[in-house]
Chain A
Amino acid sequence: MNHKLKSGITMRFRTMATGVLLGLPLLASAAGSESGGDSMDLLMTGLKILLLITVVLSLNILRMVFDLRESDPLRNINFNELNARIMVGFIFIGLCLALYFSFHFQPLYLPEASSEHGMEIDKMFNLTLLITSIVVIITHLILLYFVYKYRWSDSRRALYYHDNNKVELMWTVAPAIVLTVLVLDGTKNWNAIMQPPPENAVEIELTGKQFAWNIRYAGSDNQFGKTNFRMISAENELGFDWADESGKDDVMPGEIYMPVNKPILLKIRARDVLHSVYLPHFRVKMDAVPGMPTQFWFTPNKTTKEMRVKLNNENFNYELACTEVCGRGHFSMKRNVVVVTEEEYQEWLRKQKPYYKAPESDLPVQVAIDSTGTDSTAIPTETAEKSVSKKDKIAVAGKIKKQANQFLSLK
């Protein structure tokens, strides 16, 4: 083939390739920013077809562009230089973006902890964040500088230098010191968090099951009734042994109420598989293990009301979630958590009806099951849905959840 003609063709292919390559991310981002349903689907389908064509085309085109031996259109580019520059730009812009977005997304982060130990954890988090950010930034700036400064040059020769014990010692000891500080801080906090709970702690029992949390308070006698997993049934969620009188006043509400500024002791259990109690706003997490009761104690220090004012969001609620994968409904094991003043708490507690049903009447059972919403055949997100739908603000959730529920009830 005539040489001119050939490179003409190459040029045309090249523009096409560039067009396709540039168009693709644009299209993709268009699809991404579109959050509505139908137009997005259309875009997505288009995108998929386009993807396919692009892949086939661009692979061939790329080959032609880059594999031409006779008239290499890129032969004058010094790729070593180019790569060095891109690396500099990449690292620099990357660092800037990372910093910018760390602040940009601040409103989405969890608010300041609503518990005493949580505030300590936050402090430590911030200190660690500060130290590690400095490390990341400095090392990357060094990387950026070295990569550019020492890029290949025909006129230079690398320095034959490969050992320096002093330097080596320095950068072994320096991180060791920083880490020692962090470990000491961490140990102090960890031990404080894990020390035995105070005598007067309010005890709340949380039992995880597929896919809901059962909540239990000890009732007026301040003593949990005995339970046995072999006695569990639809009417006896926790397997109460009714021979034990102390269980008869236990209450099992559908929400967790906690008095502010009082130590709370969570007694955590699981009925079937692993679950994990997660109260993000209080920086609380502890696994629920079948056959091995666990516990976590903490002191909430902001009421729900205070948080609503503080965050300027009257729909704010504390939430309980599950963070140990436990099956299809794992993502929906929600309970509302309400922190109130001591008086409000006492008043709420007084209003709760015991879970126990007297043998004559079957009415209390109904009440009990309804209030916990944890009939074992119930759809897991039922309670969650109820509480969410109260706040119509979160409309997005509704549709998805319904579809999810369909699935959950499929099997």
Chain B
Amino acid sequence: MASETLEVKEIHSTHPEALHDSHEHHGHDSHDDEFELPEVNFIRKYIFSTDHKVIAKQFLITGILMAVVGILLSVLFRIQLAWPEHNMSYLRPLLGNWISDTGQMDPEFYLAMVTMHGTIMVFFVLTAGLSGTFSNFLIPLQLGARDMASGFINMLSYWFFFLSTVIMFASLFISTGPASGGWVIYPPLSALPQAMSGSGLGMTMWLTSMALFIVSSLLGALNYIATVLNMRTKGMSMTRMPLTMWAFFLTAVIGTLSFPVLFSAALLLIFDRSFGTSFYLSDIYIAGKALENSGGSPILFQHLFWFLGHPEVYIVLLPALGMTSEIISTNSRKPIFGYRAMVGSLLGIAFLSFIVWAHHMFVTGMNPFLGTVFMLLTLIIAVPSAVKTFNYLATLWMGNIRFTNAMLFSIGLVSLFITGGVTGIFLGNAALDIPLHDTYFVTAHFHLVMGSASAFGFFAGVYHWFPKMFGRMMNERLGYIHFWMTFAAVYCVFFPMHFMGMAGVPRRYYAASTFDFTQGFTDMNAFITISAMLGFLGQLIFLYNFFYNIFKGKKAPQNPWNSNTLEWTTPVNAGHGNWAGEIPAVYRWPYDYSKPGVNNDYLPQHIPDAAISKWDANPETASLLYDEQGNEIKDTPAAHH
């Protein structure tokens, strides 16, 4: 095994002595499958590691911790919505004056929680936690690369993210409260500390944190792109890449092109806040004073924000869709239906996602003609989305379906994607958006199609690749309970919100008591909150299953799901460099499941036609490497069996 400190270049050459170290016993139950890695100090191995697998796990665990924070915030503000008169004095020790002495939550604190929930879930959990984890983990493994193009930059990417997480988290505890103007931080509200207390230090920290976050995500994305374009193993043409790779690749491209725009939006906001410029501010009288600012436009910020904001929702979703394609195909034991159409629709979505942003702004007073254009473009994007759905269904058709945990979550994703996606057709229609904009209808839409669907993709990915990540298995039965609780909770929480939207109930309302037209949802709000709490309980089962089995789970076999992709050819506990010996070459696409003429219902990518029968006879113990003529490549013992 190549030494930890080697540069990628050196890792590429094979080290015979190292290889012999890794050659060991057969049989799944042996307790010492571990590689004998050369001594690497703990800090280099687990903390400032440049190994993409370790970095992926760092992203994963940070993401999971942030998810716990984000979900807890939502439970808290859901309690406020469900039982507005409920006495929360017992939270005073934790939240101090955000809870009044009579036990009432401060309306600004409510907004703060909504804001932080949104920010944390969208950026820290579903962007970094999801794409950061799986892009890092799978890109080198599925492409047949030793590591990312630059392990060092990859490490930086994590640590920028970590720093950004710490700042965002810390902002929850400052006395003026965290940013509170919604996750979209529209100025002037977010620009003026006079407007709300969260727009003071809290907003500064939000902007600092997001700037670091953007740096992190750019470093990551550039690395992913470079790796996908340059470091595919022999035979891995672009069209032989698993759909996961296409999804991660395009996600990275979208991120690279759109995040800088958010960066500039944030930068200009920082200028307006701290240096007296007027990019977004004009004609403002607030807190008894007329401000000097003149000539700026709040609408400009919205254009810049949504130029990232809309692509961002696909940055969140595409990785989930990619992993789902892989998992559905594997567990239906059937090739993905319409590979080309899937790639095409990914490309279509990636392209179109840049030219629909103003559908978030139909009623901001922008030129109505723009509304027409963006309505047209927005509804076009529904076509590739529909194509993807139909292809998923067609993949299930005539399959032989195994309901692994990952498969259940993937099927759940398909359902959520449909249910949440169709409401986009309402919202994309500028005229219909007039009554629906900024109501619970929108909340229902994006929580189903983005929040829940991507979370399901995340879970599917964790269950599916956990054995590869930790060399152990998660408990399937706990997984079933987790899935059914989550699936039920998600629908119970978000589906009723459509009804509230149709009643016109606006988002981000601290209480529904002021207006006649928002009354009548007391029971429904309680129902939603209870469902959310039960859903949270379900996540505790996941947490337990996850953390317990990192240490105590059953040892994972070499290829637990009988999958075709390259990551399952690495040793169960692969070290830095991934493959002990030579990197396998690739001779086919990744979806040869149940191929006629092959006895097994799978046929890995690295098996050449000439070696099929040899491999087929005994896939478990078959040798890893074959040349094109089907001869075993003997002198590289490779990963065992």
Chain A 172-183: CB-based contact to B (< 8 A → 1; otherwise 0): 100110010011
CA distance A247 to B285 in the complex (A): 20
For chain B, residues 533 to 592, give those with C-beta under 8 angstroms from any C-beta of chain A: 533-534, 537, 540-541, 544, 548, 591
Interface contact B334-A159, CB-CB below 8 Å: yes
On whether A32 and B530 interact (CB within 8 A), knowing A74-B477, A94-B491, A175-B382, the answer reads yes
Query: How long is the Cα–Cα vector from A102 to B495 in the complex, in angstroms?
Result: 10
CB distance from B217 to the nearest CB of A (A): 26
- Residue from the list A87, A163, A328 in contact with B340, Cβ < 8 A: A163
Closest to B402 in A: A152
Q: Which residues of A, 108-161, contact B by the 8 Å Cβ criterion? A: 108-110, 118, 120-121, 124-125, 128-129, 131-132, 135-136, 139-140, 142-143, 146-147, 150-153, 156-161
Give the interface centre of A41, A140, A176, A324 by most chain B CB atoms within 10 Å: A324
**Are A179 and B540 neighbours in the complex by a CB distance under 8 Å?**
no
Establish whether residues B368 and A194, one from each chain, have CB atoms under 8 Å apart when the complex forms: yes
Q: Does B201 count as interface, using CB distance less than 8 angstroms? A: no
Residues of chain B within 8 A of A140, CB atoms compared:
415, 418
Interface string of A255-282 (1 = CB under 8 A from B): 0000000000000100111101010110
* Docked pose: A211 CA to B529 CA in angstroms: 28
| Pair A110/B504 contact, Cβ less than 8 Å | yes
Q: CB of B46 within 8 A of chain A?
A: no
Assuming A59-B544, A179-B380, A193-B431, is B290 touching A289 (CB within 8 A)? no
Query: Are B429 and A175 closer than 8 Å at their CB atoms?
Result: no
Residues from chain B with Cβ under 8 Å of A202 in the complex: none
A230 and B290 contacting across the interface, CB-CB below 8 Å: yes
Interface set, chain B 506-526, CB cutoff 8 A to A: 506-517, 519-524, 526
Partner of B426, one of A84, A132, A410: A132
Binds A, one of B2-10, B246-254, B385-393: B385-393
CB closest residue in chain A, given B368: A194
Minimum C-beta distance from B557 to chain A (A): 16
B478 in contact with A62 (CB, 8 Å):
yes
On whether the beta carbons of A276 and B434 are closer than 8 Å, the reply is no
Q: Which residues of the other chain, B, contact A172 by a CB distance below 8 angstroms?
A: 341, 383, 386-387
A-B residue pair count with CB separations less than 8 angstroms = 418
Please give, as numbers and ranges, the residues of chain A lying within 8 Å of B108 by CB-CB distance.
Answer: 327-328, 407, 411
- CB-based contact B296/A55 at 8 Å: no
A364 at interface (Cβ–Cβ under 8 A)? no
CA distance A120 to B192 in the complex (A): 40
Quick one: closest B residue to A65, CB to CB?
A: B477
Closest Cβ–Cβ distance, residue B377 to chain A (whole Å): 10
Q: Which residues of A contact B530 (CB under 8 A)?
A: 28-29, 31-32
| B residues less than 8 Å from A175 (CB atoms) | 382-383, 386-387
A191 to chain B, nearest CB (A): 7
A321-342 interface with B by 8 A CB criterion: 321-332, 334
- The CA-CA distance from A406 to B102 in the complex, in Å, is 10
Residues of B within 8 A of A284 (CB): 434
- Do A273 and B192 form a contact, CB below 8 Å, given A110-B503, A289-B365? yes
Specify which chain A residues have a CB less than 8 angstroms from the CB of B341 in the assembled complex. 168, 172
Q: Is the CB of B403 within 8 A of A274?
A: no
Q: Mark B397-440, 1 if CB is under 8 A from A, else 0.
A: 11111110000100100110011001101100111101101110
Q: Which of A232, A278, A280, A399 contacts B290 (CB 8 A)?
A: A232
The distance in angstroms between the C-alpha atoms of A399 and B524, with both chains bound, is 20
Contact A168 B387 (CB under 8 A): yes
In the complex, how many residues of chain A place their beta carbon closer than 8 angstroms to a beta carbon of chain B? 144
Question: Residue A86 at the B interface, CB < 8 A?
Answer: yes
Residues of B within 8 A of A171 (CB): 386-387, 390
B508 touches A325 (CB 8 A): yes
B21 adjacent to chain A (CB < 8 Å): no
A80 at the interface (CB under 8 A from B): yes
Q: Would you call A2 an interface residue if the criterion is a C-beta within 8 Å of the partner chain's C-beta atoms? A: no
Q: B181, B435, B437: which has the most chain A beta carbons within 10 Å?
A: B435
Closest to A60 in B: B544
In the complex, the answer to whether A179 meets B508 with C-beta atoms within 8 Å is no
Bound-state CA distance A209–B419 (Å) is: 38
A332 / chain B contacts, CB cutoff of 8 Å: 514
A239 near B285 with CB under 8 A, answer: yes
Chain A residues near B296: list those with CB within 8 A: 291
For the A-B complex with A35-B522, A161-B337, A407-B107 known, give 18 more contacts whose Cβ atoms are closer than 8 Å.
A32-B530, A51-B537, A59-B544, A83-B408, A90-B484, A110-B503, A161-B335, A164-B338, A187-B375, A229-B284, A278-B504, A286-B363, A290-B188, A292-B298, A323-B438, A327-B111, A397-B519, A410-B100
Residues in chain A within 8 A of chain B (CB atoms): 24-25, 28-29, 31-33, 35, 37, 40-41, 44-45, 51, 55, 59, 62-63, 66-67, 74, 79-80, 83-84, 86-87, 90-91, 94, 98, 101-102, 105, 108-110, 118, 120-121, 124-125, 128-129, 131-132, 135-136, 139-140, 142-143, 146-147, 150-153, 156-164, 167-168, 171-172, 175-176, 179, 182-183, 185-187, 189-191, 193-194, 209-210, 229-230, 232, 239, 268, 271-274, 276, 278, 280-281, 283-287, 289-292, 294-295, 315-317, 319, 321-332, 334, 376, 381, 384, 388, 394, 396-397, 399-401, 403-404, 406-408, 410-411
A-B contact pairs, 6 of them (CB 8 A): A32-B523, A132-B425, A139-B393, A158-B332, A403-B100, A407-B108
